[in-house]
Amino acid sequence: MTFEYQYRRASGSLWDGAQKALDDFNARYTEAQDLFKGSGPDDPDAADALLNKFAFRRDGTAPSFPDTPFYEWMTNAFNVGDTHDIDAFRPDGPLVMSVIEGKLEVDLFLRALDQYRDALEALVRKAAPEHFSYQGFKIHNPDRLGEPKCRDLFEGIDYLVALFKKRGVYPLLKTGVRGIEFLAKPSMEKLNATALGLYYWNTKTIVISSHVIGYGEGRFMKWVNEAFLHEFGHFVHLNYLPREAKEAWDAGWVEVNQKQEELSTLSKITAVERARFFDALVFTKFDPSKASKRLKPIERLKFGAWLRSPMTGDPLITPKQFRWTGPGVNLATFYTDRESFMKKNYDWIEVGSDEYNKQIERKDKQFKDKLGLDWDQPLSIPAATVRELLDADPSLKKSVADALNKLEIVSDYGRTNEKEDFAETFVAFMGAPAKLTPTAKFRMQRVLSLANFYNKPVMRLAENDSLAHQVVNRYLHARNQ
């Protein structure tokens, strides 16, 4: 009469570990019964064997049994109240000690063990099956979450179904979601440490971590509802939107990405940039101050860094201004007044001779090397200099923030990228439209109407929501002016 738990093994799941622990518990349970068959363990060896069997220590403290993986499964698959009985029935150290010391009949101990086994079995029976369906969705439950936990997660599915029916877009929900997978912990291989959900576009599966239950209220609604709706938003963005609608959404991010790109390229001066800087010097007859004014703010900072940290030799301009230093004057003179330069530095060479021309060639190469003009690799700017540049011009960092602010994204997480922006905005648009600014609402509305989101429903949405409707009109009005 061993413990029964005949279920298909889902490899790598918490349930998998729990099953191994239960196997081990069964083995020990059988051995304990054999050990106590007939007489009590007045034999000290038998007493020791019992202690070892259940890993009890002589001080009466009891380790957990079944083994830790069972407890890991149990605490993740059930709520605290559901597992209460298990702890109440578990034979503890003092109980085992009293058997060993002959104060308790062996039969009583075995009966206590039976009760414990029954409690375990009752709990495992409350584990929901690995596969079942709910609201017409296939549910995969590899961790064998218990029924109460599953019911908590069903709330999110119920919410989705009710919401999409209310909005008249229920068929879209069925198109986007073929299956739903429940996972016990966000740290399971499929989810990273902080993720509560995932959308697999190839299998049309929403993966949800049961930890979302404990999060309570979210930004727009309960977290469990938000998590489902957010993942569905990824489906709409990545799979449902026709190309022009997706492009319209992503276009909002072009400026953000551009500013981010500018910020990240700040630490490098490319060959193209160096050539452009040199052209600017040539154009202004080697006046670095005038040349700098021909450049955009970020380029200007790089231009300064380029002249202050040439590839060889001393700085060519002063630390704070675009003014030549001695070596800088030397270089500028070479390119603007070659005769004076040669006279000053090489007055012993006959003007116009082969030697004279060769010397000019050599000097030209030397200066171009100094400026990295004959090199095709990007030139790195030291991190400290980059920081200085950023401090000198906070507008660089600000430009990214400004570009993001223009989008009026509904949550901080939405500011991650255009995908999360869409998912987050979709959640608010569908479930809490009042949280969106008119601009944010318009962005979503425009994209969804481009997508002809199930024919008329979006229009219906807009009509029902008088504020949104006004906003659209206001926008169209403004754009036509």
Between 143 and 424, CB nearer to Zn ion: 424
Between 86 and 427, CB nearer to Zn ion: 427
Task: Answer yes or no: are the C-beta atoms of 367 and 334 closer than 8 Å.
Answer: yes
Contact status: 153 vs Zn ion (CB under 5 A) = no
Considering CB under 5 A, how many residues would be counted as binding Zn ion? 1
Q: For the segment 406-425, give every residue that binds Zn ion (CB under 5 A).
A: 423
Shortest distance (Å) from residue 195 CB to Zn ion: 8
Contact status: 227 vs Zn ion (CB under 5 A) = no
x/- site string to Zn ion, residues 423 to 452, per CB under 5 A?
A: x-----------------------------
Contact status: 206 vs Zn ion (CB under 5 A) = no
Between 128 and 423, CB nearer to Zn ion: 423
Between 91 and 233, CB nearer to Zn ion: 233
CA-closest candidate to residue 14, choices 56, 84, 86, 70: 70
Give the pair of three-digit tokens for residue 259: 């500013």
Contact status: 173 vs Zn ion (CB under 5 A) = no
Within 192-270, residue ranges assigned H as helices are 223-235, 243-251, 254-264
Shortest distance (Å) from residue 36 CB to Zn ion: 56
Give the pair of three-digit tokens for residue 63: 């380790």
Give the pair of three-digit tokens for residue 138: 């296939």
How far is Cα of residue 221 from the mean position of the Cα atoms in its chain?
Answer: 21
- Cβ count within 10 A of residue 4: 11
Contact status: 14 vs Zn ion (CB under 5 A) = no
Task: Answer yes or no: are the C-beta atoms of 330 and 406 closer than 8 Å.
Answer: no
Between 317 and 423, CB nearer to Zn ion: 423
Q: How far apart are CA 50 and CA 28, in angstroms?
A: 9
Q: How far apart are CA 13 and CA 11, in angstroms?
A: 6
Shortest distance (Å) from residue 412 CB to Zn ion: 13
Between 143 and 418, CB nearer to Zn ion: 418
Shortest distance (Å) from residue 379 CB to Zn ion: 38
Backbone angles phi, psi at 451, to 5 degrees: -80, -5
Residue 466 gets which letter from DSSP? H
Q: What is the tally of helices (H) and strands (E) in the chain?
A: 23, 7
Between 36 and 232, CB nearer to Zn ion: 232
Interacting residues toward Zn ion by CB under 5 A: 423
